[in-house]
Structure formats: C-alpha cells, structure tokens
C-alpha cells in the first residue's frame, strides 16, 4: 500500500489529527501487523514474531483504548520483585484485603484490578486487556483472567492493578506482568531494601521510562534507621537511569495488623501523591499524554523491527520461488533440447521404429487400408500388439522417462539451493514431510495422458489439413495413423523437416513416408504441421512443469501484494506517532 492510499482515509497535515482519525490509523496498523507474514524461519524471525505480538498487545491493551476513551480513569500498575509486598501495599491503600498475599512464591498468580464503583463501565468490558476474561466475586483460575474488585477508597479517576512478579520463576507470570506494564498510565514499582539493585526490575524500569509512563518507587521493608542511606543510593541509581524525577517512598520493616495490613499512616504519602495526580485535570491529562506518546514511540520501534523482517521475508520468498522457477525452466530447456536432438528416438523407441519400418507395416498403413486391416486381424489372431502400437507405447514411455528424469533433477536442484539459506533449510524439512522432495506421485500417469492427448491432437490436425485436398483426404482416410507416425518422427528428430541427419536416426523407410506425406499435403504444410506439433508438445510439457513448480510456490507462500507490506507498516506507525505528538 502506498502512502497516498492511506492519506485518502486520514489527513496527515500540519494541524492536529482528530481522535477518530487516530483510532482509524491505529486500527489499520493493527490489521497490517496481524496480516504481516512471518512464516519463514529466517534469522531474526522468532524475535520479529514476538515483536509483532507485543505490538498488537500494545495497540489492544493501551493505544486503542486510550485513543477511544481519553477521559477514562488513569490505570496504575503495582509491580515489582517476588515477595516485595505488592499485595500487602495494595490492600493497605484500599483499607481492606482485596488481593491475596501469602508465603508461597509466586503469590500473585492472576492480576487484580481495583476500581471505584462509579468507574465500573470502564473495566467490566474488554475495553482494555481484551485477552483477559473478567471475573468478579470469585477467584481467577489462570493467567487468562483478571479479577475486578470495587473500592470506595480509590478516587473515581484512578484504578489499580496488582500485577504478578516481574522476576517470577513462572514464564506466564513474567509475560503477563510485561503486558500489564504496557497497559499502564502509571507504574508503582515495589522493591525491598535487600533487592532494589536486582537487574531484572531495572530492565522493567527502563522500559517504563521508554514508554513515558509516570513512575513511583516504594522501598519496602527497610531496616529501622537505614532508610536515609538506602534511599540515597536508590536515588543515585535512578539518576543514572534518567529516572531522577521519580519519587521514592520508604517503608520501614514492621509488624502487620491483624488483617495483614501495614499501618495506614505508612502509606499515607503514597496515597496522597496518587490522589493529587488524578485530582488535577491538567496533571492527569499530562500523565495520559506522556504515556500515549511514549507508547506509540515505543510501538514505532517494534513495528520497524517487524517491517524489516517482513521486507527480508518478502525478498527471501521471492528468492526461493525464483530458484524453483529457474530449476524447472532449466528442465524445460533440457527437455526441449532432447526432443530437438532426437534423444527420444533412441533406445527402445528407435528399436520399435526399426521393427515398424522393417516389417513394411508403416508403408502398408500409408498406402493401403487393406494392409492395415490385414495386420490388425493378424495381430488379433496371434494375440500380439501391432508394431505401430508398440512404437506409440515406446514414444510415450520415452517421453515419460525424459520428463520424469528432468523433473527429478529439477527437484534435487530446488532442494539443494533451498538448503543453502536458513529459511530454505526449514522448508526442506516440510518438503520431506509432504513428499515435495520428489516428483508428484502421479507424474507418470499425467505424462502418459499428456502424450496421448498430444497424439490425439496431432491426428485431428492431420485430418483437418487433408480435408480440403481430394487425394490427401482419401489417403488419410486409409492411413492417418501412419501419417501421424511419420510426423512424430519429424517432431523428435528435426532440423526444419526430415533431412539426411534424421534419416540416419529414423531409417530410410521414413524418408519414403515423408515424401509421400509431402505429396499428399505439400512440403510447407508438412513442415508447419511438424513445427506446430513440436510446439504443442513443448507447451504441454511446460504446463506440466509449471504445475510441478507451483507446489514450491505454495510452500514459500509467495502471495501477491506482500511486496509493500513493510512499507505499509512503517507508514502507518510513523503517521500514528506524528499524530499523537501534535
């Protein structure tokens, strides 16, 4: 898709783009990502597929919901290290137990979303996190659900998610935590005095910074009297990561209440900070704007990685398809050369031809219907095939062997060339499982039908050519099969008609038949018929080879319209980025 095609839908000028146009851009980008073909196992394909899935999640979980409902409550995700006390912190902020904490690790197996009762409409549908089913008043059963809990303690413009551990030993926990981070406007990172310098949480902090998400840090379980030193070191680390503006809330190690909560006064500063952010319309708008701009900027980088791999795969599919086309084109050329050089007229075919002309059967067919009938009666009485039938069978067998050998050679060439690149190596494994590493199982029957149809067309041509000539019509009515045999010899051994070279191959009697054919139809007509018959045979063989090559095109998924898929992805993501930054 060219840029001009998209711009007819969305006006990308200097003026700010209206929200509906931005939604349209985001939807088009999502569709282009879903349609991005990354089927080949080329270098970097796995990473690109992960990037594509993450980009789709970003659009579904944050970009599209925010563009459609910019006034929806700010979503804060509380996350951090295993056992850092995230659930206890969330429960204390709410003033009651809304999420379960325990001694087993990992403790948070499914996310809990807490919201004000008046904000129910924003979260009970799949407006955000559409991949997670909603559960209310029950226990989520896995990583595909999210529990909704109402709390009047929260401001109506704020919702909080208690996320799984970012450094969980469970892969699904880590993946879900990352997905939730991508859906957040604000992130409250909880760590402890013993683990605040761990590497994994800082990777998520950098990601949050890259997305432009507002960040607050809670330093939990600080030994009494050590808060000043640890907070200073943490602040220094934040400065080095360009996160110096993030507030740090230190909570000393202390006993929990009977309900398993921290003293309410301990979380007072964090509660006040959150409330001040969402109560101020300008501050809330700025949080959303920064997160949206940062998320789309991050999305653009992911889309670029996907687009680069799409471009590579488009080129690789073309390269693989070209190798198949070239291999079968070489096979077609070799078959055409073999036909022209008289290769088919050697071996069994030549032996049967000598038998045919040695017994005089050919001249009998050409000169007398009596001879043809006599030979057929004799063959029926003795239970044997005529020399004519045997010659026709040998021709069919010769063409079948020639075509089969060349197709097998072409297949070997395709497999060998595909193995030279990583993407092709994976496809070769598919070929071996689907019998594409060898010619089609029914190739012999298709070649036999091809030759039979070709011979039938040749007979019809001879009948049509002789219909307007009195002597020729009479002669052809007696011996059209014999005439066809002479013509076939001209097809398989020619230099523009039978000459001395072909006589050496086919035998002297063929020249007699050829002269008789010229007398019946004319020299030019004979040459034209032989040339047309040769062209017809090569056309039929070419169609057969194309059908064999098409099997390999299907494997590499060489679909039309993919050539500009990478460019379409880039244009849409850049247009969306430019639109949200205005």
The tokens describing 108, both together, are: 């948070």
Closest-CA residue to 454 (of 331, 516, 542): 542
Do 261 and 369 share a domain, yes or no?
A: no
Residue among 450, 449, 488, 480 nearest 350 (CA)? 488
- Could you give the dihedral angle defined by the CA atoms of residues 419, 421, 425 and 428, in that order, rounded to the nearest 10 degrees? -60
Task: Kindly state whether residue 33 falls inside one of the protein's structural domains.
Answer: no
DSSP letter string, 188-236:
EEEEETTTTT-HHHHHHHHHHHHHT-EEEEEEEEEPTT-HHHHHHHHHH
The residue out of 269, 286, 301 marking a domain boundary is 269
Site of tokens 């055409």: 336
CA distance linking residue 399 with residue 536, whole number of Å: 14
Q: Are 253 and 358 members of one domain?
A: no
Within-domain flag for 314: no
Judge whether 316 lies within some domain.
no
Q: Rounded to 5 degrees, what are φ and ψ at 222? A: -85, 130
Q: What is the CATH number of the domain that holds 149?
A: 3.40.50.300
Q: What is the pLDDT of residue 517?
A: 57
Tokens of 124: 């009970």
Q: Are 48 and 305 in contact (CB under 8 A)?
A: yes
Q: Are residues 371 and 457 in the same domain?
A: yes
* DSSP tag of 16: P
In a domain, 507, yes or no: yes
What gap in Å lies between CA 299 and CA 210, rounded to an integer?
10
Residue 20 lies in a domain: no
Residues 386 and 507 occupy one common structural domain? yes
The SS3 of residue 218 is: strand
Contact 187, 181 (CB under 8 A): yes
Give the position of tokens 């898929």. Answer: 565
Longest dimension (CA), the chain: 124
My answer on whether 217 and 348 are in the same domain is no
Residues 6+ apart with CB under 8 A from 409: 331, 334
Name the domain boundary from 241, 269, 297: 269
Residue 1 lies in a domain: no
> Which of 203, 221, 178, 194 is CA-nearest to residue 79?
178
Last residue of a domain, one of 223, 242, 269: 269
- Rounded Cα distance between 530 and 117, Å, is 89
| Angle (CA) 112 113 116, round 5° | 140
**Phi, psi dihedrals of residue 161, rounded to the nearest 5°:** -115, 125
Can you give the pTM of this predicted structure? 0.72
**What is the total count of domains within the chain?**
2
And the tokens for 32? 């282009």
Q: What radius of gyration, in Å, describes the C-alpha atoms of the chain?
A: 40
Both 242 and 129 in one domain: the answer is: yes
Distance CA 582, CA 254 (A): 48
Which 8-state DSSP code applies to residue 60? Answer: I
- Residue 567 has which token pair? 């460019």
Q: What tokens appear for 345 in the block?
A: 């007229």
Helix axes 422-433, 523-556, angle to 10 degrees: 100
252 sits in which H/E element:
strand 248-252
In which domain, by residue range, is 144 found?
Answer: 74-171+186-269
Q: 10 Å Cβ neighbour count for 281?
A: 10
Q: Rounded to an integer, what distance in angstroms lies between the CA atom of residue 93 and that of residue 89? A: 6
Cα-to-chain-centroid distance, residue 151: 46
- Whether a cis peptide bond, with omega within 30° of 0, leads into 395 is no
| 480 and 359 within one domain | yes
Looking at residue 380, its pLDDT comes to 36
Residue 566 resides in a domain:
no
Q: Quickly tell me which residue has 């050539």 as its tokens.
A: 563
Q: What are the 10-residue block averages of pLDDT along the chain, 582 residues in total? A: 38 60 95 90 92 93 92 92 88 88 52 93 89 79 82 93 83 84 91 85 86 90 88 88 89 90 93 90 89 93 95 90 93 85 58 52 46 41 51 71 89 91 83 74 87 82 65 47 60 48 43 54 70 85 91 72 84 94 83
Specify the pairing of strand 112-115 against strand 158-162: antiparallel
Q: Where are the beta strands (DSSP E) in 116-205?
A: 133-136, 145-150, 158-162, 186-192
Q: Which pLDDT value is given to residue 245?
A: 85
Q: How far is CA 46 from the centre of its chain?
A: 12
Is residue 151 domain-shared with residue 248, that is, in the same domain?
A: yes
The verdict on 348 and 211 lying in the same domain is no
**pLDDT score of 469:** 57
Residue 577 lies in a domain: no
Question: 184: alpha, beta or left, given left = phi > 0 and alpha = psi -120 to 50?
Answer: beta
| Tokens at 385, concatenated | 């095939």
- 45, 456, 476, 525 from 466: Cα distances, Å: 64, 16, 7, 10
């Amino acid at each position: 898709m060219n840029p001009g095609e998209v711009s007819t839908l969305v006006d990308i000028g200097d003026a700010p783009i209206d929200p509906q146009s931005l939604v349209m851009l985001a939807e088009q980008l999502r569709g282009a990502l879903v349609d991005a073909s990354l089927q080949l196992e080329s270098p970097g394909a796995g990473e690109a597929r992960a990037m594509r899935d993450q980009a789709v999640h970003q659009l579904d979980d944050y970009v599209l919901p925010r563009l459609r409902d910019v006034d929806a409550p700010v979503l804060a995700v509380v996350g951090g290290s295993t056992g850092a006390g995230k659930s206890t912190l969330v429960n204390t902020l709410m003033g009651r137990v809304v999420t379960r904490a325990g001694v087993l690790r990992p403790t948070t197996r499914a996310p809990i979303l807490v919201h004000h009762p008046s904000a129910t409409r924003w979260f009970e549908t799949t407006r955000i996190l559409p991949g997670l089913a909603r559960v209310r008043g029950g226990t989520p059963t896995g990583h595909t659900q999210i529990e909704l809990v109402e709390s009047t303690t929260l401001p109506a413009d704020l919702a909080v998610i208690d996320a799984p551990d970012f450094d969980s030993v469970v892969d699904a926990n880590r993946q879900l935590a990352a997905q939730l981070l991508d859906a957040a406007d604000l992130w409250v990172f909880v760590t402890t005095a013993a683990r605040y310098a761990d590497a994994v949480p800082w990777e998520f902090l950098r990601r949050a910074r890259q997305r432009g998400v507002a960040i607050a840090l809670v330093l939990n379980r600080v030994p009494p009297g050590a808060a000043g030193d640890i907070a200073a070191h943490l602040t220094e680390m934040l400065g080095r990561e360009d996160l110096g503006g993030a507030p740090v809330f230190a909570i000393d190690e202390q006993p929990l209440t009977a309900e398993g909560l921290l003293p309410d006064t301990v979380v007072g500063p964090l509660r006040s900070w959150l409330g001040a952010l969402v109560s101020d319309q300008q501050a809330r708008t700025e949080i959303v704007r920064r997160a949206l701009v940062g998320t789309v900027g991050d999305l653009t980088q992911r889309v670029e990685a996907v687009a680069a791999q799409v471009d590579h795969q488009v080129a690789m599919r073309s390269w693989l398809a070209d190798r198949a086309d070239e291999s079968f084109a070489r096979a077609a050329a070799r078959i055409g050369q073999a036909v022209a050089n008289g290769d088919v007229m050697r071996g069994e075919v030549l032996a049967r031809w000598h038998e045919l002309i040695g017994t005089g059967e050919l001249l009998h067919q050409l000169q007398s219907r009596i001879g043809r009938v006599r030979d057929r009666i004799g063959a029926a009485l003795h239970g044997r095939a005529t020399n004519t039938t045997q010659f026709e069978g040998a021709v069919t067998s010769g063409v079948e062997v020639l075509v089969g050998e060349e197709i097998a050679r072409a297949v070997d060439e395709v497999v060998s060339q595909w193995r030279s690149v990583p993407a092709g190596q994976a496809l070769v494994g598919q070929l071996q499982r689907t019998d594409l590493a060898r010619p089609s199982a029914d190739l012999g029957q298709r070649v036999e039908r091809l030759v039979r149809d070709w011979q039938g067309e040749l007979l019809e041509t001879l009948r049509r050519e002789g219909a307007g000539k009195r002597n020729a019509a009479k002669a052809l009515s007696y011996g059209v099969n014999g005439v066809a045999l002479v013509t076939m010899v001209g097809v398989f051994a020619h230099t523009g008609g039978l000459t001395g070279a072909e006589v050496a191959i086919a035998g002297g009697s063929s020249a007699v038949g050829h002269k008789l054919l010229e007398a019946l139809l004319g020299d030019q007509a004979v040459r034209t018929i032989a040339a047309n018959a040769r062209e017809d045979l090569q056309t039929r063989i070419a169609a057969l080879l194309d059908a064999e090559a098409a099997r390999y095109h299907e494997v590499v998924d060489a679909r039309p319209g993919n050539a500009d898929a990478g460019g379409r992805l880039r244009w849409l993501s850049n247009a969306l980025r430019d639109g949200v930054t205005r």
